[in-house]
């Protein structure tokens, strides 16, 4: 893959502008009005991602409280941050009821209405924000002591700034948390980083490109597989690393990047595993194997498919359990890239596709991926109910006066309107789904006012536009006036609240501009 230097520099400058400093607002992002136990329980019923800091006194936990307040700004729209001063007379009863004795502070997380866990990450703004984005997730790589010699870029701005200032040879591993290959490579990558650090003059870095703010980087380098490793020298991209993912290979490459890399060993084919309990089918054996079997699951796969690779150990585990438990039936697999005629016959369009056969006759598709679910199905192979019809996108819904904007229409639309509320959302976001009908009703109610508009931007489709306005959680609602005044909306999320806001909007002096 090659890049034009001038284009690359321009794009980096663009990224630096897009990933500007976080917005500041006078309105506190920390909820401080919880004093009664019943109010606390109500909060947990209505908010499914809550982090609470309990302090003995504001003075005793001043430093921790400052970090907490700063983190709350980055958590807006993602979770709820609550401050409880157990030293205050009116809150002592609440802390006693919850059996909280802060010394000088205690951080506890609540998920889906119940206590989840004590906060166990670093006491820093970045760590808290990362935790609140995925409270049940693994410890982020950048917080793992074993990877302390890897430079972790938090966002596009930090990455582009580094490229402008640091000319050392650098290899960057672009990864995502769910990638199995990334997880397996991390220990070797960290060891290589430590060895190269000791030698001096070399740098191994990493970036989690699943984060919304890093979407421009993912798009810039056309990253579609993980991990992707790209080598930089003198602040400029040279090429993509294609060598082995081992410590020695990484170190050798960095010491001599122009040498021909040792090719990665060819991954053995699944069908070559003699210990497998899976029946591997071909065009010649397909019908003969299936015709006498009353119950067969066939997994149509592609060797390069990541989802298939993640399913393979589960499929193998299920096959072994079926044998040991004497559950009737067979698990089979077919490489659809080799046996294309069979795949086309059974209309296989994606991988993995799992189909159920009885005596060689196709019956129905089965959506199972985990070993326990596969075994459960084979014990009683009945056809699953038809899936519900796909949910309409917000834009496809009828009777809405909400304007759906993109990169091309955003500025031109907002320049013509005096009062606009824009909701930046993601289709999967639960809070967005709750807000949508209220926002839509407000748009419909004021549809005859030419000065007013209610607009929406789908951040899964228009990530660059959302990054431009520093959208870090969903929904984020901003107020615009002729595209000149930009204020963060922190009001209620009912139709009445939205209407009242645009009928009596704040001035730029009432709030800090974004």
List, by residue number, the catalytic residues. Answer: 305, 308, 429, 432
- 3-state secondary structure at position 248: helix
d(C-alpha 230, C-alpha 242), whole Å: 9
d(CA 80, CA 49): 6
List Cα–Cα distances, 155 to 22, 290, 459, in angstroms.
Answer: 12, 52, 17
Quote the CA–CA distance of 477 and 470 in Å, as a whole number.
11
Give the integer Cα–Cα distance in Å for 230 and 248: 17
CB 232 within 8 A of CB 238: yes
Task: Collect all residues with Cβ–Cβ distance below 8 Å to 301 and sequence separation of at least 6.
Answer: 270, 308, 311, 312, 333, 334, 335, 336, 351, 352
CA distance 277 to 297: 13
- Give backbone dihedrals phi and psi of 358, rounded to 5 degrees, phi first: -130, 120
Q: Say which DSSP state 364 is in.
A: E
The token pair at 239 is 């090429």
Angle CA(208)–CA(211)–CA(214) in degrees, nearest 5?
Answer: 80
Determine contact, residues 232/173, Cβ cutoff 8 Å.
no
SS3 335: strand
Q: What tokens does 56 get? A: 């003995």
Phi, psi torsion values for 353, nearest 5 degrees: -115, 130
């Amino acid at each position: 893959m090659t890049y034009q230097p001038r284009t690359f520099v321009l794009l980096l400058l663009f990224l630096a502008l897009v990933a500007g400093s976080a917005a500041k607002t006078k309105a506190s992002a920390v909820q401080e009005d919880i004093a009664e136990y019943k109010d606390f329980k109500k909060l947990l019923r209505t908010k499914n991602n809550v982090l609470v800091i309990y302090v003995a006194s504001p003075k005793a936990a001043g430093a921790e409280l400052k970090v907490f307040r700063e983190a709350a700004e980055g958590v807006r729209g993602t979770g709820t941050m609550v401050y409880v001063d157990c030293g205050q007379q009116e809150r002592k009863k609440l802390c006693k009821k919850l059996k909280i004795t802060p010394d000088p502070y205690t951080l506890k997380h609540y998920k889906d209405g119940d206590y989840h866990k004590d906060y166990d990450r670093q006491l820093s703004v970045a760590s808290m924000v990362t935790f609140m984005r995925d409270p049940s997730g693994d410890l982020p790589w950048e917080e793992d002591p074993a990877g302390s010699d890897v430079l972790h870029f938090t966002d596009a701005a930090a990455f582009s700034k580094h490229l402008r200032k640091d000319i050392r040879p650098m290899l960057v591993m672009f990864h995502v948390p769910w990638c199995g290959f990334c997880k397996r490579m991390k220990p070797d990558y960290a060891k290589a980083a430590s060895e190269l650090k000791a030698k001096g003059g070399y740098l191994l870095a990493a970036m989690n490109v699943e984060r919304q703010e890093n979407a421009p980087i993912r798009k810039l380098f056309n990253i579609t597989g993980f991990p992707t490793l790209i080598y930089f020298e003198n602040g400029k991209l040279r090429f993509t690393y294609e060598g082995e993912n081992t410590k020695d290979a990484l170190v050798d490459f960095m010491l001599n990047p122009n040498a021909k890399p040792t090719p990665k060993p060819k991954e053995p084919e699944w069908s070559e595993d003699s210990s497998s309990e899976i029946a591997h089918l071909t065009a010649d054996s397909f019908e003969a194997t299936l015709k006498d079997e009353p119950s067969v699951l066939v997994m149509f796969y592609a060797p390069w498919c990541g989802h298939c690779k993640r399913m393979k150990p589960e499929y193998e585990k299920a096959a072994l359990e079926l044998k040991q438990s004497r559950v009737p039936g067979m698990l089979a697999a077919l490489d659809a890239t080799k046996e294309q005629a069979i795949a086309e016959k059974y209309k296989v369009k994606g991988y993995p596709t799992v189909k159920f056969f009885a005596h060689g006759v196709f019956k129905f598709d089965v959506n199972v991926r985990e070993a326990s679910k596969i075994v459960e199905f084979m014990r009683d192979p009945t056809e699953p109910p038809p899936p519900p019809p796909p949910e309409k996108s917000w834009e496809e819904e009828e009777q809405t006066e909400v304007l759906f904007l993109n990169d091309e229409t955003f500025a031109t639309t907002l320049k013509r309107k005096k009062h606009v509320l824009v909701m930046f959302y993601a289709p999967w976001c639960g809070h967005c789904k709750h807000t949508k009908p209220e926002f839509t009703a407000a748009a419909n109610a004021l549809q005859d006012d030419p000065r007013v508009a209610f607009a929406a931007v789908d951040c899964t489709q228009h990530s660059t536009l959302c990054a431009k306005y520093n959208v870090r959680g969903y929904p984020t609602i901003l107020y615009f006036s002729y595209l000149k005044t930009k204020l963060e909306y922190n009001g209620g999320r009912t139709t009445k609240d939205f209407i009242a806001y645009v009928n009596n909007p704040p001035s730029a002096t009432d709030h800090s501009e974004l």
